[in-house]
Amino acid sequence: MKSRKFRVGIIGGGGIAQAVHIPGWRNLPEVEIVGVADVAEATARKAAEAAGGARVFTDYRELLKLGLDAVDICTPNKVHTPAALAALTAGCHVLCEKPLAVSTAEVRAMGRLADQKKRKLMTAQHQRFTQGGLAARAWVDGGNLGEAYHARVRAVRRAWLPPSPGFIDAKLAGGGPCMDIGVHALDLCLWLMDFPQPVRVSGTSKTVFAKGHTMPNLWGEWDRARYSVEDFAAGFVHFDNGATLVLEAAWMCHQVENEDLVAQIFGKKGGLKWPSAEFATVVNGVHAQGSLTHPLHVPHPHWNEIAAFVDCVVNGKPSPVPWTETIKVIGILEAVYASSASGREIKLKL
């Protein structure tokens, strides 16, 4: 593979692909973007131009016939699973935007096929590659957190509801802010907790503002008739090691901050906040606190995520975001919805 270009195809040529994924791939001299597939031909053409003149497809199955090394899936959530399964079957390694899937059954199907085919499967959780994420991870790896016993995860916006149908139509998105932004903060938090096994979840999800309320949206109007996901969700998680976690996710609420995307972890040796990378601990019997700075400059975390994916494929390293971790994230979010629908606590067996 090192003697030729690393051949990649983009499935889904919309905003996230054009804004960060395609520039990230083009930043790697060893990579060639061979083609772009999107059901909207105009979108595919625009993305293909941004990719340096890649071939254009309206059916990703045709793209997969080109003998690719890997695909990057940037479609609406519900297309992730069929596209990933088709790509893995075709022998491609797969990088897929979050959420990898909207159910644990789909994540498991992808993961088992990737293992069977000996292909790499990675969820694009770019927050792990931010300055704050890397600094926090290094601090935890240094033994400063100790055993984590509780965490708070908050992914809450004042009025940033994405108006695209790919986010607000349950048939395309599979979920609202839980799946859109909750997945970021939850993944980061569980990563810093070394992914304990979730065993019980209780939760609620509801639509408070998005259907009929007059709250203005900072991203403009949306189709209220088509809106079929939650705009607020919350959950309480128990892990097999006795730790607990509180989760909140919302696109609209009355708060001062435009966005509050944070995770706070309480450990027996210290406490940690992300993304600020603030810490609190005790040194020689004295309370101490501060903020962490990772020495690596991280101007483009999406680009670093893509580079890490290529590195794991080319050099035979483990996936930087393995599906066995992602299934725990999706399992919790899936259980929040199930608990809300049933009115009872959900027991997890992942």
Tell me the pLDDT tens digit for each residue of 168-203: 999 999 999 999 999 999 999 999 999 999 999 999
Considering the domain architecture, whether residues 121 and 244 belong to the same structural domain is answered as no
Based on the domain organization, do 75 and 178 belong to the same domain? no
Give residue 10's pLDDT.
98
How many Å apart are CA 24 and CA 300, to the nearest integer?
8
Q: State the total domains in the chain.
A: 2
CATH code where residue 39 lies: 3.40.50.720
Is 217 inside a domain boundary? yes
Looking at the structure, tell me whether residues 142 and 45 fall in a common domain.
Answer: no
Q: Are residues 247 and 314 in the same domain?
A: no
Both 256 and 285 in one domain: the answer is yes
Q: Is residue 193 part of a domain?
A: yes
Query: What's the rounded Cα separation, in Å, for the pair 307 and 13?
Result: 19
Looking at residue 344, what DSSP letter applies?
S
Residue 43 maps to a domain: yes
Which are the contacts of 195, defined by CB distance < 8 A and separation ≥ 6? 325, 328
Question: Is residue 1 very low, low, confident or very high in pLDDT (cuts 50, 70, 90)?
Answer: very low
My answer on whether 105 and 249 are in the same domain is no
Q: Is residue 1 part of a domain?
A: no
In a domain, 10, yes or no: yes
Give CA–CA dist 167/187, Å, rounded: 19
* Nearest residue to 11 (alpha-carbon basis) of 62, 58, 102, 72: 72
Could you tell me if 290 and 308 lie in one domain? no
Give dist(CA 144, CA 276) in Å, integer. Answer: 16
Does residue 306 sit in the same domain as residue 167? no
Return the H-helix or E-strand segment holding 63.
helix 60-63
pLDDT value at 2 more than 60: no
Which CATH number covers residue 220? Answer: 3.30.360.10
Parallel, antiparallel or unpaired: strands 278-283 and 270-274 = antiparallel
pLDDT of residue 3: 63
For the stretch 10-58, pLDDT in tens is: 999 999 999 999 999 999 999 999 999 999 999 999 999 999 999 999 9
The residue range of the domain holding 43 is 6-127+301-321
Is 97 found in the same domain as 151? no
Q: What are 252-297's pLDDT values in tens digits?
A: 999 999 999 999 999 999 999 999 999 999 999 999 999 998 877 7
Do residues 171 and 234 share a domain? yes
The pTM (predicted TM-score) of the whole model is 0.95
308 part of a folded domain? yes
Quick one: 10 and 22 in the same domain?
yes
Q: Are residues 89 and 142 in the same domain?
A: no
